[in-house]
Amino acid sequence: MNTNPSPCKSVALEEEATGGGHKKVKGGGAMQGDVAIDTQALRNNLRRLREAKGYTQKQVAEEAGISLPGYQKVESGKSIPRRETLDSVAEVLDTTIPTLLRPVEFPSAVRFRAAKKLRTRDNVLARVANWLEDFQSLEELLGTTIQSDLGEISNQVSSWDQEIDRPLEAARLVRECWDLSQEEPISNICNLFDCKGIKVLTLPLGAQHNGFFGLSVNSESGGPAIVINTWARIPVERWIFSAAHELGHLVLHRDAFDVALMDESDWEEQEANQFASWFLMPEEAFNAEWDGVEGLSWYDAVLAVKRIFKVSWKTVVRRLIDIGKASKNAYALFFIQFKQRNGRNLPGHQEPEPISAKEFSTVNVAEEPEGLTPSDFPANQLERLVRKALEKGRISLSRAAAIIRLPLGDMRSLVRSWGVEPA
């Protein structure tokens, strides 16, 4: 990974979370006693670790014994904390002061773009960088690294004539290279990626990341890796499509992986969407399944095919329009039939409600017809590596807790559920 340096920022002492003298450090940082503080690194790490634990700023402040305004000034980089304050915050976040002060190396070969500017972009990149570092170190420790063939596939795709339907043919090529039948749907995309050497990280990011569904990292920065936003209000079907979409970028757009690029490319997004559609719903399989639902109502037919391929109903309708089996008023017809069935309008950003209230409260995902659950998108690669390392006595329980971002007590409970006796 290459370092994307965060500028040090010299700041004045503030009340509450600060105290004692400080002096400027050459380069723009600050000294608190004998500790050099890079305020940009500190603020990034505080926010990253706090959000990874699901804590609010108020919770951290209360547990650390400081005021909320005092903590907010530290996390925003407006004040330099006292050593004892830093100790208390580090304890709350189950980390160490050196970890809080260490600048994070961002992956440089990453494709992380969004239609809207994300204020939390650096925080997400920092979390991805730490995850990749932990993942790679565990793979090396256990000798379980799987070599991916995406580089060879991408090289072949890049040599194609521009007249070729690249998304369609690339999806066929990946399926062929991975020994996937052109007549079968993909039952478990995360397990497939795991077997093919593609790392998958799920981040349940909240409303502040609205519009961000995923990113991908190329092999130059520790990939291939795919990161998916698994926020509870995003349907599982969208998680799966986003994973296939990011795979499309890894195969089709190898020259677009630059962390400095932030604006979306419409044609790259369109190609990645087309790739995902063809990869998840290969032509032969889709046609056969659609022919098999002949006689059902439009609404029921769309839901039946959608369930088979684990995609959104809109993805099915889009394919039918593209291949000339439906007109552009097909979306309107679905909305009409939904209202006829359910007695209410279907909001454009939601999926029809397929599950009971009890199931919904348990699953806690956005509404989808014939809804999937998080078990259909099981991304537990890192947890599995941690379990193996514990079983072999290669890492300590505290190190395992730090990697999975769990408090030590919760880590002990998880280990007991595994039936593992850590060394």
Per-residue pLDDT of the chain (423 residues), as tens digits, is 444 433 333 332 233 333 334 443 333 444 444 456 777 788 888 887 887 777 889 999 999 998 999 998 888 888 888 888 888 999 888 888 888 888 877 889 999 987 667 777 877 888 898 889 889 899 999 988 889 999 999 999 999 987 789 999 999 999 999 999 988 888 888 889 999 999 998 888 876 666 788 999 999 999 999 999 888 788 888 888 999 999 999 999 999 999 888 888 899 999 999 999 999 999 999 999 999 988 888 999 999 898 888 889 999 999 999 999 999 899 999 999 999 988 899 876 677 743 222 322 233 444 455 556 555 565 578 888 988 898 888 888 888 887 887 778 888 888 888 887 765
Work out how many domains the chain is built from and give that number. Answer: 3
Together in a domain, 224 and 331:
yes
Task: Examine residue 1 and state whether it is found in any structural domain, yes or no.
Answer: no
Q: Are residues 205 and 152 in the same domain?
A: yes
Is residue 350 in some structural domain? yes
Last residue of a domain, one of 50, 82, 101: 101
Same domain assignment for residues 155 and 252: yes
Tell me the H-state helices in 143-265.
Answer: 150-158, 166-177, 189-195, 236-252
By residue range, what is the domain housing residue 71? 22-101
Please report whether residue 12 resides in a domain: no
Q: Does 91 share its domain with 118?
A: no
Judgement on whether residues 27 and 51 belong to the same structural domain of the protein: yes
Angle (deg, nearest 10), helices 298-309 and 283-292: 140
Q: How far apart are CA 321 and CA 327, in angstroms?
A: 6
Whole-model pTM: value is 0.78
Q: Are residues 193 and 146 in the same domain?
A: yes
Alpha helices in 143-197 (DSSP H): 150-158, 166-177, 189-195
Residues 294 and 177 in one domain: yes
327 and 251 fall within a common domain: yes
2 is a domain residue: no
Contact status, residue 312 vs residue 238, Cβ threshold 8 Å: yes
Q: How far apart are CA 322 and CA 8, in angstroms?
A: 52
